Amino acid sequence: MSRSVPSAPRRWSPFALWRTLPFTAQLLALGMMVGLFWFLASRAAAERQQQAVQERTAQLVELQRAALLAAQLGRGIVEMSRDHRGYLITGDAAFVASFGADSARMAQTAQRLLRSHPTPAVSLELDRIDAHLQTWLDVAVTPSRRGPPPRGPVQLASAHIDSALAAQARLERHLEVEVAETELLADAAATRDDLSTFLASTGGLAVLILLLMLLMRFVGRTLDRIVEAAEAIDAGRYRAAAFPRADEAPNRETATLARAFEQLAESTARREAQLQDDVERLTEMERLKRDFVSTVSHELRTPLTSMRGALGLILGGRIGDVPAKVRELLQIAMSNTERLIRLVNDILDVEKIDAGAMQVRREPMRLRGLLQHTMVLLDSFARDHGVRLELTSGGRDADIVGDPDRLTQVFTNLVSNAVKFSPSGTTVSLSLAASPAGVTVRVRDHGPGVPPEFAPRLFGRFQQAERAESRRPGGTGLGLNIARTLVEQHGGAIGFDPADGGGAVFWVTLPASAIHEEEAAAPAPADPRRVVLIIEDDPSMREVLTAMVEPIARALPVGSGEEAFAALAHEPVGAVILDLELPGMHGFEFSRRLRQDPALRKLPVLLFSAREHGTEELRAAGIRAADAFVKTRDSEQVLFERLRKELGIPR
């Protein structure tokens, strides 16, 4: 993280003082400065406008006064002409006196007009009027005082009067034009003044906006740097988090924000370093614990497997008949050995899940056969608890793609839990429901159900319900967690619902590759080794063995040796499961005849009988001692593993 480097004290400056102000104070100061500037500029413009208006008003008044004087001048000429004509007609001396008064007023009016508006045009027209009047006086007025004037000069005088009136009219029109022009100029000046006022106001507002934009740009740039530094902290790049220094911030708020974020970055970096150390230490401790658990689990599984095998041989009568009391104790030892092996396997599965090493195979299979195989594996376990297992599929089956072993592990866990929590004398039912979208398997028990407060933790690790009225069957609480992981790796889901009438219904949904409405039919794989011939005269046992085989191969069940040879003539077989007590042909006889056929002599034969047989007896029938199994408790699983090995199917 970039740290602020202390700098030398700076000299005072207005800009430095500006940076220390709060953002609101900066906005207020900018507004006041721009407002003061706009007020002074507006006042100066208003004073100029007022002075110009006064000047234009005075000029307009002067022109209007000149126009009035020009009109008076015209009326004076008309009155002088009327007095002259009256004198000529009547000879009355009163008209002469009136004419003199009119002439004096005319001279005064002309002088006032010239003083009021001394322009060249006015002076020119006044001179013309004066010249025409003077000519009129010389030609007509003065001679008329000595007697009647001749007709010619009188007509000439009338022409000069008309010329004087025309000059006065031109003067009046000229003044009217000047008045109109002055008014137009006044209107244009007023428009310019309004425009100047608008431009001044707009300019002041634009300056204010520009200053605000500059201020916001400075603030925004600082905030952008703070955001970039915060994002760097969020990404864990503490060294790249460069916060602006407080003296670089444009105002007090951003300076405070920058200091706060820098302190946050420093404290976060310290905590991150501490957490990293803690994580490394805990990771190392977890690795040591995992290695220890793995080593111990592997070391436990080997002797436990050997113990289970030895106990199985003893219970199977390999060393002879065992007293009932001893058999009971051996069965207790066998049960607890199986329990310990399951515990070790669960721990190893959890280790694989944590390490990401849990692998599932992808191969086609029939789900109904896999469920039947699960029931076969748990049949004796259910009988020990007084619980009956039942499978209902409604005549439907589903082809799915998955790992038979892992799915068997899932359903074994669900069914065994249902058996353990169901009262004696009840039934644990498995149901299969298929649809184009997928297939759902439900396991229903009649136990106490799942407490509501425990439901969210049901599929967690090391979780077991604390319920006084329920049996406490023990266990690690890992089974459901492992089952959920395996189901999710198959692209499915697992959950539970309360059951009507008590108990719970656990369900598993899996994607189905094909749905069949007809009864389950064995697949026809291309590999002939994946067909297993089952020779068993007991229908119930034949069904059990068929269910056991179907998850890994196609079962071909028959009830006698003759039927078996007929099947071998038409069907390539990979292995044979043989019972001895058959109708007609004995099992040993079937085996001897099989070994005499060159095409079938190497066919694996697994003997599954009700009693132990000697080595010589087995050798005479062409059966290896390792391939002879006794129908005792849990012997189906041992037979199943041997069959898997003979067929070359990996676990």
Rounded to a whole number of angstroms, the distance between the first and last alpha carbons of the chain is 54
Please give the mean pLDDT across all residues of the chain: 75
Contact 571, 531 (CB under 8 A): yes
Mean pLDDT over 66-76 rounds to 78
For tokens 């002075």, name the residue: 51
- What span, in angstroms and rounded, lies between the C-alpha atoms of 183 and 177? 10
For tokens 């220390």, name the residue: 20
- What span, in angstroms and rounded, lies between the C-alpha atoms of 375 and 429? 10
The answer to whether residue 235 scores a pLDDT higher than 60 is yes
Q: Which residues pair with 442 in a beta bridge?
A: 431, 507
Both structure tokens of 476: 């690690």
Mean pLDDT over 328-336 rounds to 80
Contact 442, 506 (CB under 8 A): yes
The closest alpha carbon to 174, from 247, 239, 125, 111, belongs to 125
Contact 126, 165 (CB under 8 A): no
pLDDT at 187: 76
Mean pLDDT over 474-502 rounds to 81
622: left (phi over 0), alpha (psi -120 to 50) or beta: left
Both structure tokens of 540: 């119930």
pLDDT at 590: 92
Of 108-117, 154-163, 469-478, 552-561, highest mean pLDDT: 552-561
Mean pLDDT over 518-543 rounds to 64
CATH, domain 50-198, list 1.10.3720.10, 3.30.420.40, 1.20.120.1730, 2.60.120.1060:
1.20.120.1730
At 77-120, the pLDDT tens digits run 787 777 777 767 777 767 767 777 777 777 787 777 777 777 78
Both structure tokens of 340: 């310990």
Mean pLDDT over 354-364 rounds to 74
The answer to whether residue 401 scores a pLDDT higher than 70 is yes
Q: In what order do the strands lie in the sheet with 531-535?
A: 554-558, 531-535, 575-578, 605-609, 628-630
The closest alpha carbon to 505, from 518, 494, 496, belongs to 496
At 1-34, the pLDDT tens digits run 444 444 444 555 665 565 566 666 666 666 677 6
pLDDT at 534: 92
Alpha helix positions (H), 443-501: 479-489
pLDDT at 533: 92
Instruction: Say which CATH topology domain 523-651 has.
Output: Rossmann fold (3.40.50)
The answer to whether residue 240 scores a pLDDT higher than 70 is no
pLDDT at 576: 93
Both structure tokens of 457: 């933790």
Both structure tokens of 509: 């949904």
Considering the domain delimited by 366-521, tell me its CATH architecture.
2-Layer Sandwich (3.30)
Both structure tokens of 349: 């599965």
pLDDT at 142: 62
Domain ranges, ordered by start, for the chain: 50-198, 269-358, 366-521, 523-651
For tokens 């790249």, name the residue: 240
Residues 318, 322, 327, 333: is their CA dihedral positive or negative?
negative
φ, ψ for residue 429, nearest 5 deg: -105, 140
Q: Which residues contact 414 (CB under 8 A, 6 or more apart)?
A: 443, 483, 506, 508
Contact 398, 410 (CB under 8 A): no
At 207-217, the pLDDT tens digits run 767 767 776 67
Mean pLDDT over 582-586 rounds to 87
Contact 96, 145 (CB under 8 A): yes
Rounded to two decimals, the pTM is 0.44
Q: Which of 164-173, 174-183, 427-436, 455-464 has the lowest mean pLDDT?
A: 455-464
The answer to whether residue 46 scores a pLDDT higher than 80 is no
**What dihedral angle (degrees, nearest 10) is formed by the CA atoms of 129, 134, 137, 142?**
170
φ, ψ for residue 438, nearest 5 deg: 170, -170
Instruction: Say which CATH topology domain 269-358 has.
Output: Helix Hairpins (1.10.287)
Mean pLDDT over 549-568 rounds to 86
Read off the pLDDT band of 443 (50, 70, 90). very high
Identity of the residue numbered 247: D
